[in-house]
Amino acid sequence: MYPNWIIQRAYLTPLRKALTYKEQSWTFLELNDLSSKRARQLVGLGIKRGDRIAIMGPSKPELVITMYACLHLQCEMVMLNRRLSQDELGYQLADSEAVAVLIADEDVNKLPANTAHYLFSTIEEVEEGAFDIGKEWPLDQTTTIMYTSGTTGFPKGVRQTVGNHQASATASVLNIGLQADDVWLCAVPLFHISGFSILVRSLLYGNQVYLYDHFDVEAITHHIMNGEVTHMSVVAVTLERILHTLEQHKAKASSRFKLMLAGGGPVPADYLSRAHTLNLAVAQTYGMTETSSQTATLASEDAIRKIGSAGKPLFFNQIKIVEPNAQGEGEICIRGPHVTPGYIGRFAQKSATRDGWLHTGDIGYLDEDGYLFVIDRRADLIISGGENIYPAEIENVLLMHPAVKEAGVCGADDKQWGQVPVAFVVLNEQVSVEQLQAFCQQRLAKYKLPKEIIITNSLPRNGADKLLRRKLLQ
């Protein structure tokens, strides 16, 4: 049995700042008091220990308090993604059989019609029920359930346990270190593992979270320049916006700022060298919902030397490549205490692991020093005339062109070749498709050249700003 994180942290460092949002801050003691009260209010609504509860709301303190209340109740929280359609939410609510939906007032219209729910504003007014908050949690207790799109098109509800989250947070600290006054800026959604893992680390480490409900690039960049925050989680596209803003201000990151943890896919080499110039340490990481965040992370001192790598596994984790080809490329498999025990609902019977190993469906290799290189999602792999084409490779070339701000590549059906790559680009400045084609021709094998390059205003991304290649053609 392990201590209830919120109670333990409030006991150990009650007066340390836990959360800052806009101009207001809360200590760990205050968050414990508020979330304990909220827990008893949920009991007042009839919610019981261990119930499965769906939650949706923007990244604001009331969401944090509601999540912590559910932790106190040892509920299984189904983390609803605010960017989903009503149909998609309907699927998750039905699949998870959540007994209640807790929702921020401003998000209520996102729910499918006639979905029973409790508004945050309503819950705040409910009379507290009697409840003895558990001071200890078992390691295998499911804490969060996050849906991840399966290759089948049916999203799978992934269990993340107390043990998964703890293992993830402790392994991370053995890699990147820890000081009591570290401050993690959170501008990634709390319903994603990238955001929720920041809350878990805050509770285990006793660190402050600086919370944003949207990506305010000016304000965030100023925190980084001033050293008011020390860590931040980004994806390539948000990193680029910060780099761009620093460059516009002709400013550098403060020496107090320690690390950008960059997940959700590879970071273009060009971004890394710009970050280096701006004194901004970037650690590329490889993680997923099934591993409660990072499995491997590249130390920032290796960012340039091992450019493109996701680094080495965190201390308690293991990585192997199965069925490698002659170049050593194969499916990435993961083992460790951070790996999910499995799924709920439709996929409850499907085992997440084989002999303890999670088969990720991602393709990669380990170089001679044991650094992981993730080549691509196997689901996104384009097979053209028998040749494997990794979309990321073409995207990286396009992103090297100064006029290209964002790029996404997917496969389109083709009579002759089976599939051919098609590229979608968002531009910074005027450029012709012909110029881009010529640029690619200099850098890519002929079979990898995009058959078409389409200029567009935005690329389809999920809640974590991760590119959704499968939606490009739509």
Q: What is the DSSP letter of 176?
A: H
Q: How far is the CB of 82 from a second copy (least distance, A)?
A: 32
Query: How far apart (Å, rounded) are the C-alpha atoms in residues 146 and 345?
Result: 12
Q: What is the closest distance, in whole angstroms, from the C-beta atom of residue 202 to a second copy in the complex?
A: 12
Minimum CB distance to a second copy, residue 312 (Å): 5
The nearer residue to a second copy, 58 or 337, going by C-beta atoms, is 337
N- to C-terminal Cα separation, the chain: 49
Q: Which amino acid is at 238?
A: T
Name 280's Cβ contacts closer than 8 Å, sequence gap at least 6.
224, 242, 243, 246, 252, 253, 257, 260
Rounded distance, CA 349 to CA 352, Å? 9
Residue number with CB closer to a second copy (258 or 274):
258
Which residue's CB is nearer to a second copy, number 180 or number 322?
180
Choose among 269, 271, 196: nearest CA to 238.
Answer: 271
The whole-angstrom separation of Cα 261 and Cα 263 is: 6
Report how far residue 17's alpha carbon sits from residue 365's, in angstroms, rounded to the nearest whole number. Answer: 42
Rounded to an integer, what is the distance from CA 151 to the centroid of its chain? 18
Name which of 97 and 367 has its Cβ closer to a second copy: 367
Residue whose token pair is 């996104």: 380
Least distance from C-beta 70 to a second copy, angstroms?
21
Closest CA to 242 of 205, 209, 206, 279: 279
CB of 95: closest distance to a second copy in angstroms? Answer: 31
**At its nearest, how many Å lie between a second copy and the CB of residue 385?**
31
Q: What are phi and psi of 122, to 5 degrees?
A: -70, -45
- Measured from the CB atom, is 125 or 355 closer to a second copy? 355
Find the shortest distance in angstroms from Cβ 171 to a second copy: 9
* Dist CA 369 CA 447 (whole Å): 31
Which is it for the CA torsion 393, 398, 400, 405, positive or negative?
negative
What is the contact surface with a second copy in residues (CB under 8 A)?
Answer: 1-3, 8-9, 11-12, 135-136, 166, 170, 173-174, 177-180, 204-206, 312-313, 315-318, 335, 337, 356, 370
Which CB atom, from 28 or from 271, has the smaller least distance to a second copy?
Answer: 28
Q: Which one, 316 or 365, has the nearer CB to a second copy?
A: 316
**Beta carbon nearer to a second copy, 317 or 384:** 317
- Count CA atoms within 13 Å of residue 303 on its CB side: 25
Smallest separation (angstroms) from a second copy to the CB of 313: 8
